Amino acid sequence: MEATYIVIMAGGSGTRFWPASRARRPKQFLSITGPRPMIEETYLRVAPLVEDSRILIVTNREHAPLVQEIFSGRAVRILVEPEGRNTAPCIGLAAWHVQREAADAVLIAVPSDHFVSDEEAFRRALQAAAALVRAGGIATLGITPTRPETGYGYILKGAACEPVLGQAVYRAERFVEKPDLETARRYVISRQYLWNSGIFAFTTSTILREIRKHLPRLAEALARLDEGARHGAYEQTLEAVYGQVEAISIDYGIMEKTQEPIYVLPVTFGWNDVGSWQAVHQLRARDHDAARNLTLGDAVLIDVSDSLIYSQTGRLVAVLGLEGVMIVDTPDVLLVGDLARSQDVRQFPERLRREGREELC
């Protein structure tokens, strides 16, 4: 695609995949959705669209060495934030870099830790989004819901627009927060709501203008970065200004406030934000054994069903007579639990932190 850049947002942290993920190695660095780390699978998914030099991976200082290791020998560009400040600053920083080398390029921003089942369909949708916003506005992909998921945000479709490259396009009427179950059911039945994928497209001039309108501290920081870079002091300036910018998501910081037209492109491919071990178990149904177990590592199962076994250690995991459990085996921590309660896994690092056992968090 001409003058298009892709931003892989890799600043996420989280504890829902503890103990496999840690503060020092969050989810996007785990090989849980396939044979490679999620961030690398994300890269491979977008790589056919643009040359490597137009792929920007935004990470923070703590995780930069992991990113550099995974992408060593590739021409992708790694932008290092002094610290993670959520998605709006991440996109602002990427837009700042891109506008310095290309006049009004299109940016496509994608999270580094999501799962997509149909990569071809995914890329076609991104191409349509890029083509659409070249003339202005903001585009986002909306996933057609397949269940009343309460863990995702939703987007209400508005008026239909002209299709682009065969892709249907609507105005986005409204972004809504994670609903309760009853509301989610209504949304799904109505066929008017789509899941908010967190994937956005816009030109650099659009997004930088919106930042100036709605995120003044981020805009100021980017202006000072212009100044610093002119004097060969990019790093020091970034360090000095980044702690002051609004730590806010692109959804809250821009989408809810903008007067620009926002388009939503409904897509139907399988998609998952991979929010828990249970999600991993569900989305990898193709890798299940006959009793619906997902086994990643050396394991012997006797009378076990609907379970997830993930071993990072190479040890043999023997399981006997259980249903619906998760077993996550790491060098210093072993987790065994009810798979249906995988959302509660975060309670362990919280408790360990209170007990002063940071090294296990």
Residues that bind a copy of itself (CB under 8 A): 19, 300, 302-303, 311, 315-322, 325, 327, 329, 331-338, 340-341, 344-345, 347-348, 351-352, 357, 360
Residue 42 has which token pair?
A: 């994300």
Full DSSP string of 228-286: HHHTT-HHHHHHHHGGGS----HIIIIITT--S-EEEEEE-S-EE---SHHHHHHHTGG
Judged by CB, which is closer to a copy of itself: 251, or 329?
329
Judged by CB, which is closer to a copy of itself: 176, or 334?
334
d(CA 76, CA 7): 10
**Measured from the CB of residue 136, what is the shortest distance to a copy of itself in angstroms?**
49
Judged by CB, which is closer to a copy of itself: 22, or 45?
22
Bridge partner list, 57:
8, 78
**Measured from the CB of residue 273, what is the shortest distance to a copy of itself in angstroms?**
21
d(CA 279, CA 72): 30
Judged by CB, which is closer to a copy of itself: 67, or 296?
296
**Measured from the CB of residue 289, what is the shortest distance to a copy of itself in angstroms?**
16
> Can you give the three-state secondary structure of 24-56, one letter per residue?
CECHHHCCCCCCCCHHHHHHHHHCCCCCHHHEE
Residue 299 has which token pair?
A: 């394991």
**Measured from the CB of residue 355, what is the shortest distance to a copy of itself in angstroms?**
9
Q: Is 274 left (phi over 0), alpha (psi -120 to 50) or beta?
A: left
Judged by CB, which is closer to a copy of itself: 189, or 300?
300
Phi, psi at residue 351, to the nearest 5°?
-65, -40
* Residue reference for tokens 């989280």: 14
**Measured from the CB of residue 308, what is the shortest distance to a copy of itself in angstroms?**
12
**Measured from the CB of residue 340, what is the shortest distance to a copy of itself in angstroms?**
8
* Residue reference for tokens 């702690």: 243
Judged by CB, which is closer to a copy of itself: 135, or 302?
302
